[in-house]
A and B are shown apart, each in its own frame.
Chain A
Amino acid sequence: MTPKFTSRLLAAAGLFASLAFTSAHVAAAEKPVVGFSQIGAESAWRTANTDSIKGEAAKRGITLKFADAQQKQENQIKALRSFIAQDVDVIAFSPVVETGWEPVLREIKKAGIPVILTDRAVKVSDPSLYVTFVGSDFVEEGRRAGKWLVEKTKGQAVIAELVGTPGSAPAIDRKKGFEEAIAGQAGMKIIKSQSGDFTRAKGKEVMETFLKSPEGKSINVLYAHNDDMALGAIQAIEEAGLKPGTDIVIVSIDGVKGAFEAMVAGKLNCTVECNPLIGAQLFDLVADVVAGKTLPKRIAVEEGIYDQSQAAAALPSRQY
């Protein structure tokens, strides 16, 4: 090796090292690099969720490595491994399923990268594998729908319930929360409860059958686990010659645009928001994590509840 070559090599190595040092330094102190793995793009809600995260990252000038898992856990695990290889500062993801995350989360922990879960939780034996879980509290959503109803009806209601897809977490939790909220009310009872599969068509079909049953005439409240089923049921109620929103008080969950339009038209009474716009909250948490603050294991998303009086004002700003 000639001396000249050696000195060049040393100079190059030095330059490289200093570059690497400064970039690492900047990343840690100023703008963290965040890797985010999304479930997919299966609904308008999910798309709004993605847009919110991407938009907020761009606004804050944060480098976001975004990966769409297309509903597959294996894609998501691949994405998480590539985040480790790229040595991002924080990893966030919405897990497709609850289980099977231990090995990859251990790899991430070994690499020293903090993990934030969004929207859905994971089942792991070691809770230190992730920093915090930020997502909607479905039980609380059901509870709020129930509480609103207790106030609205002064504890007197014959309720029909349109349940979500059997076995899904939102269906189980929203039912549980609602039942908790109306538990103390002797005048409130659920006389019909059936799955509408979270869809408009099934919501309508099931409501048609409810209304035609012998007890159907006494139904004066409808609780739907999501807005789409309520929107379908509204059509069934109209076809039965009744006034949705007046003859039958309707409360549902999600807060999609269609629900606000129905509220403005007086056909829906109340929707409990299930907020996908978590971008700002997520990147606040990222900043806290990078700054080394301790966070609670479970953080609820900031969510509102809207009735007809607020619907018209809120409608133009609804993004999903």
Chain B
Amino acid sequence: MIVDLVLWPTLAALLWVNRRRPLLWPLVALALLLLFNRLFTPGFFALEIRDGRLYGTLVDVLNQGSKVMLLALGMTLVIATGGVDLSVGATMAIAGAVMARLAGVSIPVALGGGLGVALLAGAWNGLLVSAFRIQPIIATLILMVAGRGVAQLVTDGQIINFEQPALVYLGNGSLLGLPFTLALVLGMFALTALLVRRTALGLFIEAIGDNETAARFTGLPARPVKFLVYVFAGLCAGLAGLVAASNIKSADANHIGLYLELDAILAVVVGGTALTGGRFQLAGSLVGALLIQTLGTTLYARNVGADVATVPKAIVILAVCLLQSPVLRAKLASLRRPAPTALRKEGSV
């Protein structure tokens, strides 16, 4: 089948290119999971063209996974500075609620309003963390708890529906046969990668995450950079919120983005970025997010009950995390050859 002809060589090439890089293990896990589905889950790889767009479970994985992928981009930078943003799920709910509320006014106003409040939410977190030096986990916990209430206020506690084609397109439309959300994710990824890898910003972020005091003494603008990464996480959460609301053509303030902050953190960690800050893996986070979504969809497709579905999910995640643990890998290496002299220095994306 065409899917096989495209997918497996691509995966093999990716694995080969990354054989010496931290991206390897999440890619291996994703490849194994896909292989498992290829062999044992009938219909998982079935693709057809319906209404001029690709239609199939793999396409759903990309579309449904886009929210966590977007969140993971912002979360990666926040975690790289040694912080964490727990409020992204609630920010999604606020952005979706504002968009639905303003849907009747005009499309630019609705989109701008949704993204605007998300930027504000990010700026609020950034302010608390950088100017008031509140611990990130507490600073963002505030908005995580309060944000859903704000979203409820915006929607009056009701589910608000909207039908505007442009807003519906955002989460359901297709571009060149593929979900538009995929283009959105790739666009945001390219933009972020450009910002952090083609300017000194990425280096600043890693330096701050490694040792903030040292970074400040060398003259890095530590606080503005920290402020900015939270604003960026807010923007990503806003986009994810708009996609989530668009997906179901309504703003469900109670449930949009619920617990997704945890999936985003998981995606970042599985992707090879340490929670302690410093070096980060932007592409790894995307692979991590894809892995989580593929797992979820696999469990639906195999009819695993939701009450036990968390167990296989936890096992796969645990396996990936263990594979990445430097301690475990050093132990495994020492089993193979006697007394390793030094751990190989790992390259980055």
Residues of A within 8 A of B (CB): 41-44, 47, 163, 166-167, 192-195, 197, 199-201, 204-206, 208-210, 212-214, 216, 228, 231-232, 235, 239-241, 258
Chain B 223-267 per-residue mask, 1 if CB under 8 angstroms from chain A, else 0: 000000000000000000000100111101011100000000000
Q: How far is the CA of A194 from the CA of B55 in the complex (A)?
A: 21
B43 in contact with A200 (CB, 8 Å): no
B248 in contact with A240 (CB, 8 Å): no
| Residue numbers in A under 8 Å from B307 (CB-CB) | 166-167, 195
Q: How far is the CA of A240 from the CA of B244 in the complex (A)?
A: 19
Among the listed B42, B244, B305, which residue makes an inter-chain contact with A194, where contact means beta carbons less than 8 Å apart? B305
User: Given A201-B248, A209-B60, A258-B161, does the pair A194, B51 have CB atoms closer than 8 Å?
Assistant: no
| Residue numbers in A under 8 Å from B91 (CB-CB) | none
Chain B 3-18 per-residue mask, 1 if CB under 8 angstroms from chain A, else 0: 0000000000000000
A204 in contact with B158 (CB, 8 Å): no
Q: How far is the CA of A43 from the CA of B155 in the complex (A)?
A: 11
A212 in contact with B43 (CB, 8 Å): yes
14 new A-B pairs (CB below 8 Å) besides A213-B43, A239-B172? A44-B157, A44-B158, A166-B306, A166-B307, A194-B300, A195-B306, A197-B306, A200-B255, A201-B248, A209-B57, A210-B300, A212-B56, A235-B249, A241-B50
A240 in contact with B157 (CB, 8 Å): no
| Residue numbers in A under 8 Å from B249 (CB-CB) | 235
User: Given A201-B247, A209-B60, A209-B301, does the pair A216, B306 have CB atoms closer than 8 Å?
Assistant: no
How many Å from the CB of B345 to the closest CB on chain A?
41
User: Given A43-B254, A200-B252, does the pair A240, B247 have CB atoms closer than 8 Å?
Assistant: no
B199 within 8 A of A: no
A-B interface, 10 closest residue pairs, ranked by CB to CB distance from nearest: A195-B306, A166-B307, A209-B300, A200-B248, A199-B255, A214-B43, A214-B42, A212-B57, A166-B306, A208-B60
9 chain-A/chain-B pairs, Cβ below 8 angstroms:
A44-B157, A195-B307, A200-B159, A201-B256, A208-B64, A212-B46, A212-B60, A228-B159, A240-B50
User: Given A200-B252, A240-B50, does the pair A47, B157 have CB atoms closer than 8 Å?
Assistant: yes
Q: How far is the CA of A192 from the CA of B46 in the complex (A)?
A: 19
> Closest residue to A212 on the B side, CB-wise?
B57
B130 within 8 A of A: no
> Closest residue to B250 on the A side, CB-wise?
A200
Q: How far is the CA of A43 from the CA of B255 in the complex (A)?
A: 11
Chain B 187-226 per-residue mask, 1 if CB under 8 angstroms from chain A, else 0: 0000000000000000000000000000000000000000
| Residue numbers in B under 8 Å from A192 (CB-CB) | 303
How many Å from the CB of A128 to the closest CB on chain B?
36
| Residue numbers in B under 8 Å from A241 (CB-CB) | 50-51
User: Given A200-B252, A214-B43, A235-B249, does the pair A205, B159 have CB atoms closer than 8 Å?
Assistant: no
How many Å from the CB of B84 to the closest CB on chain A?
24
